[in-house]
């Protein structure tokens, strides 16, 4: 058995264990959100919750939107007839710390930092598309340095790869990463001034 197969088997086993543990959770858990669900909806609540837990598995770093899409695709009739129940299941999972949108968002921030740096607005749009809630995005955006700071850090990392004869290409490159025209001009001007200083 190669290393990849061994990892996949261990991952599948871990997900199975997590799923088994959670089957009894609604009755024995530290909170009892199901008691807030009317009797006629409790079966649907448990069905939706179980499907969400299977999807999340051992990776808590999923977004509200991702889990909602999975539930809507898995149980279109239940989801269509009772959106509030779907939302309650997801909110309960967040409250119970099975779902961590902050972890999901911070992964996006990390992936688009350093040599892959993007602007705040670019990252905000990525998080929206990932289905992270507006409140979580608002909190996470505060953790990112302002665009001038990140653009300057990116210049220092990447400028050795830039062509001095093609400043317009560098401007377009920075703009494609979500930076405003003003910041793009400022960064390119600083880059060119620094080159002249050392000539």
pLDDT at res. 7? 56
Domain boundaries, the chain: 3-99, 146-199
pLDDT at res. 25? 46
Longest dimension (CA), the chain: 78
- Number of other CB atoms surrounding residue 135 within 10 Å: 10
pLDDT at res. 6? 63
- The answer to whether the beta carbons of residues 93 and 53 sit under 8 Å apart is yes
Task: Name the residue among 73, 90, 177, 87 with its Cα closest to residue 125.
Answer: 177
pLDDT at res. 79? 81
Distance CA(199)–CA(195), nearest Å, equals 6
pLDDT at res. 24? 44
Q: HSE on the CB side for 35, CA within 13 Å?
A: 7
pLDDT at res. 39? 62
- The answer to whether the beta carbons of residues 45 and 84 sit under 8 Å apart is no
Give, for all 199 residues of the chain, the pLDDT tens digit.
555 566 566 656 655 655 555 544 444 344 445 545 566 678 889 999 999 999 999 889 999 999 999 999 999 988 888 889 999 999 999 999 999 999 999 999 999 999 999 999 999 999 999 999 999 999 999 999 999 999 999 999 999 999 989 999 999 999 999 999 999 999 999 999 988 886 6
pLDDT at res. 77? 86
- The answer to whether the beta carbons of residues 187 and 152 sit under 8 Å apart is yes
Would the CA dihedral through 44, 72, 130, 182 be positive or negative?
negative
The contacts found for 185-191 with CB under 8 angstroms, 24 or more apart, are 186/148, 186/151, 187/151, 187/152, 187/155, 190/152, 190/155, 191/155, 191/159, 191/162, 191/167
Residues in the chain: 199
């Amino acid at each position: 058995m190669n290393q990849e197969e061994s990892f996949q088997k261990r991952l599948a086993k871990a997900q199975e264990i997590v799923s088994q543990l959670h089957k009894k959770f609604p009755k024995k858990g530290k909170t009892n959100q199901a008691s807030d669900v009317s009797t006629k909806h409790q079966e649907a609540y448990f069905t939706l919750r179980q499907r969400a837990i299977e999807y999340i598995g051992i990776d808590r770093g999923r977004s509200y939107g991702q889990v909602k899409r999975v539930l809507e695709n898995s149980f279109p009739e239940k989801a269509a007839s009772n959106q509030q129940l779907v939302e309650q299941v997801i909110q309960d999972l967040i409250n119970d710390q099975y779902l961590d949108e902050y972890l999901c968002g911070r992964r996006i921030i990390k992936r688009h930092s350093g040599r892959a740096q993007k602007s705040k607005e670019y990252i905000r749009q990525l998080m929206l598309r990932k289905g992270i809630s507006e409140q979580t995005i608002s909190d996470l955006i505060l953790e990112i340095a302002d665009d001038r700071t990140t653009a300057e850090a990116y210049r220092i990392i990447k400028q050795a790869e830039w062509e001095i004869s093609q400043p317009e290409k560098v401007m377009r490159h920075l703009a494609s990463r979500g930076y405003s025209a003003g910041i793009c001009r400022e960064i390119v001007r600083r880059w060119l001034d620094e080159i002249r200083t050392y000539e």
